[in-house]
Chain A
Amino acid sequence: TQLLKQSPQFLSIQEGENLTVYCNSSSVFSSLQWYRQEPGEGPVLLVTVVTGGEVKKLKRLTFQFGDARKDSSLHITAAQTGDTGLYLCAGGGDSNYQLIWGAGTKLIIKP
Chain B
Amino acid sequence: DAGITQSPRHKVTETGTPVTLRCHQTENHRYMYWYRQDPGHGLRLIHYSYGVKDTDKGEVSDGYSVSRSKTEDFLLTLESATSSQTSVYFCATRGQGAMNTEAFFGQGTRLTVV
Residues of A whose CB lies within 8 Å of any CB of B are 6, 9, 31, 33, 35, 40-45, 48, 88, 90, 92, 96-97, 99, 101-104
Contact = CB atoms under 8 A, between A and B. Distances in A.
9 A-B pairs with the lowest CB-CB distances in the bound complex, closest first: A42-B105, A103-B42, A101-B43, A45-B102, A101-B42, A104-B42, A97-B31, A43-B105, A42-B90
B112 interface: no
A97 B107 contact: no
Interface stretch (B60-68, B77-85, B93-101): B93-101
Given A31-B101, A33-B101, A48-B101, A42 B42 contact: no
Interface string B34-58: 0100001111100010100000000
Contacts of A41: 105, 107-108
Q: Which of B42, B90, B97 has the most CB of A within 10 A?
A: B42
Interface of B: 4, 31, 33, 35, 40-44, 48, 50, 90, 92, 94, 96-98, 100-103, 105-108
A97 B40 contact: no
A48 B102 CA distance: 8
Nearest to B44: A101
